[in-house]
């Protein structure tokens, strides 16, 4: 959270929500903000702009309409729709794999017989 005390308070200003939850480098125990991640956050804050799936500049009225709920996902939509699954293609792939497995088992059994097992 950043509170900008230098902005003129008028009681009905705008609030910038930034969801930088995907902006980091993954480490073993702790995730770490890289310089580029920090720069993106600072640039967005300074420009006070809405960026799709990253930031949103909300009016006081909108926050009031949301019963003063300041939960970031309420304002910054990061939802990514999942790809549709082609069930017929998946079923065909499963059948192909099962056929290959059956052939491999027959071949293994043939080799095992030759070895006397």
pLDDT over 70 (residue 99): yes
Please check the confidence at residue 12 and state whether its pLDDT lies above 70. no
pLDDT at 8: 61
pLDDT of residue 82 exceeding 70: yes
Give the mean model confidence (pLDDT) for residues 52-74.
92
User: Do 53 and 77 meet the contact criterion of CB atoms below 8 Å apart?
Assistant: yes
Q: Which of 76, 68, 78 is closest to 49 using CA atoms?
A: 76
The three-state secondary structure class of 17 is strand
Contact in structure between 19 and 54 (CB atoms under 8 Å) = yes
**Model confidence at 104: pLDDT above 90:** yes
Strand partners, 15: 58
How would residue 17 be classed by pLDDT, with cut points 50, 70 and 90?
A: very high
In the block, tokens 């073993």 appear at: 28
């Amino acid at each position: 959270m950043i509170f900008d005390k230098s902005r003129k308070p008028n009681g009905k200003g705008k609030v910038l929500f930034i969801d930088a939850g995907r902006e980091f480098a993954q480490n073993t125990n702790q995730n770490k903000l890289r310089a580029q991640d920090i720069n993106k956050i600072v640039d967005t804050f300074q420009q006070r702009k809405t960026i799709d799936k990253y930031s949103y500049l909300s009016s006081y009225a909108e926050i009031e309409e949301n019963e003063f709920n300041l939960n970031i996902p309420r304002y910054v939509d990061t939802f990514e729709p999942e790809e549709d699954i082609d069930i017929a293609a998946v079923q065909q792939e499963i059948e192909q794999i099962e056929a290959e497995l059956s052939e491999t088992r027959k071949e293994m059994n043939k080799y095992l017989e030759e070895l006397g097992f």
